[in-house]
Structures are given as C-alpha cells and as structure tokens.
C-alpha cells in the first residue's frame, strides 16, 4: 500500500469542489425535531387522525396524506439498461500537460485536481439484481471540470455488440428477460439473446470478450475501462487527433471463477457494491490510470480496420497506450438515491478540446442519453439535480419545466436581446466557447453499412489467440454453459457456425459439450442487419485475417500480480488456536495491505491455547469461501481438531481449492487439508500432480509461511488446478 493511503483517515470525508457544493443540498437530522415537508413540527408520527379511538381515519389528516403520498411516489423508472450500479466520488489529476493535443483545461495542468463521480454497473439486470451476472460492466465517469461537465461513458470491454445505434433496441430486447414470462433475470443465457447474436456476425468480437472472464470481475476496482469509440482531441490551434480512452486499474485486472460467481450471487448479491464501499470506507482508495491512444488525422486510413467501427480495438502493439493521469475514488456517496441513482451521464457532455467522430454507434448515443433522462428523471431540469450540476455557473435562456430550481431574474429569456443588455453573451473560443471541429463531409445521404465495417472475425480471432490456456478454457466453458441454456437446437447450431469462423478448436470444443457437429466450411454467416433491398456495398467478399496474431494486453494473465492490497483472507480457527502463528501471519498479511477475517464455528470470540480472547468476524453460517481470496488454517491441537470435524470448514477448503485459490496451513493443521476432497480424490492418473499443489503452502515457520502465502495470493489464482476438472465442492 502506498504511503498516501496509510496517511488518510477514512473517517474524514475527502472533499472536492463538487462535494463542497453538494453540502449545500445535504441534510442531517441529528439533533433536530421532526417536521413535515413544509416545516410544521410533527407531534405524533405514530397515529393517524381518527374519529374517536377506534373510529375511521379523517381525510383532514394532512400529515398522514403527505407522508403516504410521498412514499407512493418514491420510485422512479430504473435505467432501461445499466439499472444495477454503484457510485463513488473522487478526483482526477493529469500527470503532465496534454495541451499539445487538446485544449481541454482539465488535461492542461498537473496541478489541477478535477472532481469526479463514477458509476459502475451491470447492463442487463434490474436494479435489485446480482452484481455477479456474466455481463458487460458500465464504467461511467463524470468529470466536473472548470469548463463544464465531461462524461466518459464507457464499459469494461473496449468494443461493442453492434456497429450502428439503430440496432441497440434490438440488442437490448434480445438480452433482457424474455417478454412473455420475464425470465431470466440478469443473464444472457437464453434463446432470444443467442438468436439475435447468431444472426449478427458483427457481434463476434464482443462475444469473445463477454464470454471471457472479463464479464465476471473480482471487483470493480480490478477491471479496465474503455471509452470504446474513437473520439477526437482538438488543440488550441484547431488541430485534431483521434483518441481512444482507457482506464487501467492499479490493482491489475482479475476475475472470479464462473462457479464462484454463481455462488456469490446467492451468498452476497451485493458483492461488488460492498467491495467498493468497504474499500473506500477503509481508506483503500481505488485507482486507475487514464490511458490514451492517439492517432494523427492523416493516419485515419492506415489500419486494416476502420477507426469508426466500434467493434474494433486499436491493438496496443500498433498504437501504444500513453498513461496521462490518475483517477482516485475517495468518498462514498451520502445517499444512494440522491447521488448514484439520479446521476445522469451523457456521452454528449463534452468540453472544448474533446469532440466526436462519425462512428454511427456514437452518433446514435448522442441522441439517446438526454432523451432517456427525460422519462427517468421526470423532465428537462435533471441537470439541476445536485449530483448533475456542473461546478461552474450555468447561464442560458432555457426556462421553466417540471421541478425547476433556479430562480432566473429579469425579463429577457431570449437572445438577442437589449432588455437584458444582451446577456448572457455567447463565449468566443478564446473565452472557452465550444467550437465543433470543422470536419469536411461531402457525401450523398444513404442508409448503408460501409464496406470497411464488414470484417467481423479477425479481431475476434486476435482476442481468442491472445488468451492464456486457462482463459481459453473459460471461454469454451462459458459458451458451453450459455448455449446449453438455449432451447433451440437451430440457434445452437448457428452459433457453432459463427464460432467456427473465429476458431476451429473453439467451435469443436463447444460442439463437443453440446454434442452437435461443427458446421463444415460454413458459409459466411448472413448479416441480417442489411436492408431489405441489399447493401449498396458488396457484402460477400470479406473474410479477413489480421496481420497481428496476438496482443499481450488482451490477456488478464499479463496484468499486475505483485500486490495483495485489499485482498480478503479467511482464517479458519476455533478454541485452542495457536495465537502465535495466527498473530504473526495476520500481521504479515495486514502489513501487506490484505484484510483478514477470522471465521469460527460460533460468533463473537474464540479462546486461544494461551487463553487469549480473539474476536471472530463470522461464523461458518454467515461466511463462505467464495467471499474470500485465500484461506489459512492456523495450528493449535484443539482448534485443528474442531475445524477438521466441522463439515462447513472442510467444505470451505474444498471450495477454495476448486476455485483455484491459495490455501495455507500450519504444519500442525495439515491434517485438516488431508480431510478435504482434493487431497483424497485427485485422480491418480492425472500426470502432473505438482500443478495441483501450487498455491498450497504448509509450514511450521510462521514468517516463511506468510512470505510464501503472500506471494501465492498476489498470483490471484492457480487456474492450472482446473486441469483434471470436476472437483465437486
């Protein structure tokens, strides 16, 4: 953990210009008397007004009516997508001036600290759905800059399912629960989704990402973010460069196992929300670096793919990611609804120096986000909700509408005017006025897909080729699971055709699980998103192979593995535990930034060998191995005997083993490991027994055990253990 974090007292809320402004709208009832919404003090909040003790309630009861009416109207429509989310405040600082490429003020000076509000989300599920769905994660950042709000509304995957916004309602209808019975919740494993995907070859690349472990992150704090589209930077001289935005988490990119994800959904459906909240409360502030890939205007056509196609990345080998600044989340919201739920992001909230491209997905999004807030937040004044207000003043001639807060003085609400002395004045570019990049467009009006968008498979191949073996296996398992939940054999079959265009071994492995033949030399799948009368461009001829065969940045296996900061470690202990090794290992792990929790047969405390009381965080009833990153069993004769005989403890270890987590035990506790399934039942014909022992540390010297355990935890998972497969837990 770095020194700054240690110095923070998390009980002191971190303030920024934005959070100070929010304070004006923040209420705290401590020490106050109760009033109704109009300030009249309330004497009885327990009983409604009645005609006599047992009589009917009276319509006159303005206190009852107000309270119930407000309650009746408490809910607003959830977001049509990304309904389930969690937010946090923070700050962004640029490392060095980017003025050579953009005139955006917040990127111009390393002394500037820009307040931000970030909301992470899943896409398909409802507001109350599990955090651990196999799904894309939203990564939306609102920068409250001195030139107005800039919203970077991205995802944790750098590409998208579709190339044109006109297909977005179809995509969302397909993935959401099926319309007749509203099943399944927060899951893509059903017929309508795969029916659509199997007819939309342009989704092939995104499907590889969504079926990878990126779709089941260990934490919001351990996932990347991407702006997805190609945007523009424009500098003070009016020179434009293309830009792709990235967020790189300083803790690395890590995921859970699918079986684990499904278990977490039951044990703690708020797992990611809680993780984010707890990390910030404890002063372990999540951090990401902002990365940019910059492409000069004149290089627009030098790539094998079209920069405007949102189903394509720019591989980092072709254009390196420059890390230009740091985002730190340092303050939880005071009120979920007022801040996180009412936050309104919009890809069209830009500041001078940042501009759009003609990506047809981006262009459609520019319409959708304001439109959706009108229904979700109830009218055109949602920008006045405290969380959405910029930190700079707002002056224009827009007026009135539901819930208007601002009291605009004067008679003129039009421009030009003389009655208001011409104010507010338009801002010159030199005064920070936004000027659109004057891109030259000479074109016919047509509805068509550019032929440069027709290569659907080369980057899907690039992604698959770039994965480690365990990651490839997880993609195969994910597709086998999802298509296994599809009832229509025709859809499964069509998907195998798509997969075989990506990789024959992938298609064969999924076909094996489905017990279906892989279509031999399938025709290039029909793209049903072409118009009824065909596409003016020729569709047939594009089967493409990318020059680049593999890209290291696409595999999570290549990300940070040198820290155990904030990792949660379970200690399984009971009365009679050896407090010396417990204390030493705990001190070493906590010293390295991990969070240790003691789990025992019963709550409250255990009594050690040396008669010390040690506080217990959870009993086996309320804890589960899926909520931890690693597990340790300290010695102590009686404790070990109790743990060995405790079925839940043995289950805990079996499950941790199954999910490839590091496991440690004092030599005196090794017998507990012997009681587990994995010790007894590892198939004896499995040739490479050593991989099964990786990540399992047993020793009697607490210091050296702790060192080895820390190294193992920093590796995250020992996926090789999955090789023999099928260890029930």
* Positions in 227-246 near ligand HDD (CB under 6 A): 228
Q: Choose the catalytic residue: 155, 156, 388, 654.
A: 155
CB-nearer residue toward ligand HDD: 320 or 364: 364
Pairing between β-strand 595-600 and β-strand 568-572 as defined by DSSP bridges: parallel
Task: List the structure tokens of 453.
Answer: 């968008």
End-to-end CA distance of the chain: 34
- Does residue 168 bind ligand HDD (CB under 6 A)? yes
- In whole angstroms, the minimum distance from the beta carbon of 169 to ligand HDD comes to 8
Among 106, 117, 150, 160, binds ligand HDD (CB under 6 A): 160
Task: List the structure tokens of 184.
Answer: 């399944």
- Give one DSSP letter per residue of 37-54, joined into a string: TTSPBPS-SS---BSSTT
In the shown chain, the binding pattern of residues 68 to 87 toward ligand HDD, with x for contact by CB under 6 A and - for none, equals -----------xxxx--x--
- Give one DSSP letter per residue of 57-78, joined into a string: BPTT-HHHHHHHHHHHT---PP
Among 88, 104, 153, 664, binds ligand HDD (CB under 6 A): 153
Size of the site for ligand HDD (CB under 6 A): 25
CB-nearer residue toward ligand HDD: 206 or 594: 206
- In whole angstroms, the minimum distance from the beta carbon of 115 to ligand HDD comes to 17
Stretch that binds ligand HDD, among 367-375, 457-465, 502-510, 562-570 (CB under 6 A): 367-375
CB-nearer residue toward ligand HDD: 215 or 705: 215
Among the listed residues 325, 285, 318, the one whose alpha carbon sits nearest the alpha carbon of residue 302: 318
According to DSSP, residue 523 is labeled P
Is residue 246 part of the annotated active site? The answer reads no
CB-nearer residue toward ligand HDD: 327 or 665: 327
Asked if 606 contacts 577 with a C-beta cutoff of 8 angstroms, the reply is yes
- In whole angstroms, the minimum distance from the beta carbon of 211 to ligand HDD comes to 18
Stretch that binds ligand HDD, among 361-369, 450-458, 525-533, 642-650 (CB under 6 A): 361-369
CB-nearer residue toward ligand HDD: 103 or 119: 119
Is residue 155 part of the annotated active site? The answer reads yes
- In whole angstroms, the minimum distance from the beta carbon of 82 to ligand HDD comes to 3
- Distance, in Å, from the CA atom of 350 to the CA atom of 437, rounded to the nearest integer, reads 13
- Does residue 154 bind ligand HDD (CB under 6 A)? yes
CB-nearer residue toward ligand HDD: 152 or 706: 152
Pairing between β-strand 240-249 and β-strand 287-296 as defined by DSSP bridges: antiparallel
- In whole angstroms, the minimum distance from the beta carbon of 360 to ligand HDD comes to 9
- Distance, in Å, from the CA atom of 91 to the CA atom of 74, rounded to the nearest integer, reads 31
- Does residue 372 bind ligand HDD (CB under 6 A)? yes
- Does 132 sit behind a cis peptide bond, omega within 30 degrees of 0 on the bond before it? no
- Does residue 385 bind ligand HDD (CB under 6 A)? no
- Does residue 363 bind ligand HDD (CB under 6 A)? no
CB-nearer residue toward ligand HDD: 124 or 261: 124
CB-nearer residue toward ligand HDD: 160 or 718: 160
Task: Spell out the residues 6+ positions from residue 192 whose beta carbon is closer than 8 angstroms to its own.
Answer: 173, 174, 175, 178
Asked if 664 contacts 632 with a C-beta cutoff of 8 angstroms, the reply is yes
- Does residue 369 bind ligand HDD (CB under 6 A)? yes
- In whole angstroms, the minimum distance from the beta carbon of 227 to ligand HDD comes to 8
- Does residue 345 bind ligand HDD (CB under 6 A)? yes
Among 155, 388, 551, 714, binds ligand HDD (CB under 6 A): 155
Asked if 141 contacts 88 with a C-beta cutoff of 8 angstroms, the reply is no
* Positions in 301-330 near ligand HDD (CB under 6 A): 310
Stretch that binds ligand HDD, among 47-55, 153-161, 395-403, 584-592 (CB under 6 A): 153-161
- In whole angstroms, the minimum distance from the beta carbon of 393 to ligand HDD comes to 24
* Positions in 115-134 near ligand HDD (CB under 6 A): 119, 121
Helix axes of 489-502 and 504-514: crossing angle, nearest 10 degrees: 160
Task: Spell out the residues 6+ positions from residue 496 whose beta carbon is closer than 8 angstroms to its own.
Answer: 507, 510, 511, 514, 516, 518, 519
Task: List the structure tokens of 240.
Answer: 């434009």
Task: List the structure tokens of 330.
Answer: 């340092």
Stretch that binds ligand HDD, among 154-162, 278-286, 320-328, 378-386 (CB under 6 A): 154-162
Stretch that binds ligand HDD, among 264-272, 281-289, 365-373, 519-527 (CB under 6 A): 365-373
Stretch that binds ligand HDD, among 357-365, 433-441, 489-497, 571-579 (CB under 6 A): 357-365
- Give one DSSP letter per residue of 588-649, joined into a string: HHHHTT-EEEEEESSSSEEE-TTS-EEE-SEETTT--GGG-SEEEE---HHHHHHHHH-HHH
- In whole angstroms, the minimum distance from the beta carbon of 119 to ligand HDD comes to 4
Stretch that binds ligand HDD, among 151-159, 196-204, 417-425, 539-547 (CB under 6 A): 151-159
Question: Rg of the chain's alpha carbons, rounded to an integer?
Answer: 28
- Does residue 387 bind ligand HDD (CB under 6 A)? no
Asked if 388 contacts 342 with a C-beta cutoff of 8 angstroms, the reply is yes
Asked if 361 contacts 165 with a C-beta cutoff of 8 angstroms, the reply is yes
Stretch that binds ligand HDD, among 366-374, 457-465, 544-552, 610-618 (CB under 6 A): 366-374
Instruction: With H, G, I as helix, E, B as strand and everything else as coil, classify residue 231.
Output: strand
CB-nearer residue toward ligand HDD: 76 or 448: 76
Q: Choose the catalytic residue: 82, 349, 474, 659.
A: 82
CB-nearer residue toward ligand HDD: 368 or 452: 368
Asked if 215 contacts 130 with a C-beta cutoff of 8 angstroms, the reply is no
- Distance, in Å, from the CA atom of 665 to the CA atom of 571, rounded to the nearest integer, reads 10
**48-to-7, 39, 51, 53 alpha-carbon distances in Å:** 52, 19, 10, 10
- In whole angstroms, the minimum distance from the beta carbon of 366 to ligand HDD comes to 9
- Find the residue with minimal CB distance to ligand HDD: 138
- Does residue 365 bind ligand HDD (CB under 6 A)? yes
Among 90, 115, 125, 138, binds ligand HDD (CB under 6 A): 138
- State which H helix or E strand residue 277 sits in: helix 271-281
**727-to-260, 478, 681, 689 alpha-carbon distances in Å:** 13, 18, 8, 14
- Give one DSSP letter per residue of 96-149, joined into a string: S--TTT---GGGS-TT--EEEEEEEEESSS-TTS-TT-SS-EEEEEEEEEBTEE
- Does residue 217 bind ligand HDD (CB under 6 A)? no
**316-to-137, 143, 276, 499, 553 alpha-carbon distances in Å:** 22, 26, 29, 25, 7
Among 88, 107, 140, 478, binds ligand HDD (CB under 6 A): 140
CB-nearer residue toward ligand HDD: 235 or 370: 370
CB-nearer residue toward ligand HDD: 363 or 465: 363
- State which H helix or E strand residue 699 sits in: strand 696-699
CB-nearer residue toward ligand HDD: 166 or 645: 166
- In whole angstroms, the minimum distance from the beta carbon of 154 to ligand HDD comes to 5
Task: Spell out the residues 6+ positions from residue 620 whose beta carbon is closer than 8 angstroms to its own.
Answer: 599, 600, 601, 646, 648, 649, 652
What is the contact surface with ligand HDD in residues (CB under 6 A)?
79-82, 85, 119, 121, 138, 140, 153-155, 160, 165, 168, 228, 310, 343, 345, 361, 364-365, 368-369, 372
* Residues known to be catalytic: 82, 155
């Amino acid at each position: 953990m770095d020194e700054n974090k240690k110095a923070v007292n998390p009980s002191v809320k971190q303030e920024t210009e934005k959070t100070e402004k929010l304070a004006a709208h923040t209420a705290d009832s401590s020490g106050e008397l109760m009033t109704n919404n109009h300030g009249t003090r309330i004497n009885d909040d327990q009983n409604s007004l009645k005609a006599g003790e047992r009589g009917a309630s009276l319509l006159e009861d303005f206190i009852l009516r107000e309270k119930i009416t407000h309650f009746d109207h408490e809910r607003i429509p959830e977001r049509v997508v990304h309904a389930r989310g969690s937010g946090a405040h923070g700050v962004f600082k640029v490392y060095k001036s980017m003025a050579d490429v953009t005139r955006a003020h917040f990127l111009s000076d390393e002394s500037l600290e820009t307040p931000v509000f970030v909301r992470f989300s899943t896409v398909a599920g409802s507001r109350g759905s599990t955090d651990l769905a196999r799904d894309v994660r939203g990564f939306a950042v609102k920068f409250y800059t001195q030139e107005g709000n800039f919203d970077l509304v991205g995802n944790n995957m750098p590409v998208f399912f579709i190339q044109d916004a006109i297909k977005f309602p179809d995509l969302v209808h397909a993935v959401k629960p099926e319309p007749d019975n509203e099943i399944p919740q927060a899951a893509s494993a059903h017929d309508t989704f795969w029916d659509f995907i199997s007819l939309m070859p342009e989704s092939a690349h995104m499907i590889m990402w969504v079926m990878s472990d990126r779709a089941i992150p260990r934490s919001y704090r351990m996932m990347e973010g991407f702006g997805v589209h190609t945007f523009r930077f424009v500098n003070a001289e009016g020179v434009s460069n293309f830009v792709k935005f990235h967020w790189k988490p300083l803790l690395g990119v890590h995921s859970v196992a699918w079986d684990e994800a499904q278990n977490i959904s039951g044990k703690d459906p708020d797992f990611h929300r809680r993780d984010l909240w707890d990390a910030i409360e404890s002063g372990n502030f999540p951090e990401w670096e902002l990365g940019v890939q910059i492409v000069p205007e004149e290089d627009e056509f030098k790539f094998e793919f079209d920069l405007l196609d949102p189903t394509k990345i720019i591989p980092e080998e072709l254009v390196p990611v420059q890390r230009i600044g740091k985002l730190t989340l340092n303050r939880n919201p005071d009120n979920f609804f007022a801040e996180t739920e009412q936050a309104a992001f919009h890809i069209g909230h830009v500041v001078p120096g940042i501009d759009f491209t003609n990506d047809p997905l981006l262009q459609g999004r520019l319409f959708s986000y304001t439109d959706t807030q009108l229904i979700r937040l109830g009218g055109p004044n949602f920008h006045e909700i405290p969380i959405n207000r910029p930190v700079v003043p707002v002056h224009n001639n827009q007026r009135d509408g539901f819930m208007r807060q601002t009291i605009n003085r004067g008679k003129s609400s039009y421009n030009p005017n003389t009655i208001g002395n011409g104010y507010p004045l338009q801002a010159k570019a030199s005064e920070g006025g936004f000027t659109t990049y004057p891109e030259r467009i000479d074109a016919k009006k047509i509805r068509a897909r550019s032929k440069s968008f027709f290569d659907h498979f080369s980057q899907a191949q690039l992604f698959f080729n770039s994965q480690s073996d365990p990651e490839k296996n997880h993609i195969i398992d994910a597709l086998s699971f999802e298509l296994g939940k599809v009832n229509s054999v025709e859809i499964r079959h069509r998907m195998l055709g798509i997969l075989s265009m990506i990789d024959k071994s992938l298609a064969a492995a999924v076909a094996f699980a489905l017990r279906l033949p892989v279509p031999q030399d399938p025709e290039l799948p029909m793209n049903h998103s072409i118009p009824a009368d065909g596409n003016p461009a020729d569709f047939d001829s594009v089967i493409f192979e990318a020059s680049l065969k593999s890209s290291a940045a696409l595999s999570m296996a290549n990300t940070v593995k040198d820290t155990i900061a904030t990792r949660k470690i379970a200690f399984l202990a009971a009365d009679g535990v050896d407090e010396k090794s417990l204390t030493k290992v705990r001190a070493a792990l906590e010293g390295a930034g991990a969070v240790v929790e003691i789990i025992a047969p019963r709550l409250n405390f255990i009594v050690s060998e040396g008669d010390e009381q040690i506080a217990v965080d959870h009993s086996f009833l309320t804890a589960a191995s899926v909520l931890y990153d690693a597990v340790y069993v300290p010695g102590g004769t009686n404790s070990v005997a109790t743990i060995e005989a405790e079925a839940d403890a043995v289950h805990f270890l079996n499950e941790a083993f199954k999910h490839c987590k590091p496991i440690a035990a004092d030599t005196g506790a090794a017998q507990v490991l012997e009681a587990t399934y994995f010790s007894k039942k590892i198939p004896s014909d499995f040739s490479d027994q050593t991989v099964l022992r990786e990540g399992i540390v047993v020793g009697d010297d607490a210091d050296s055990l702790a060192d080895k355990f820390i190294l193992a935890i920093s590796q995250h998972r020992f996926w090789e253990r999955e090789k023999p497969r099928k260890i029930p837990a």
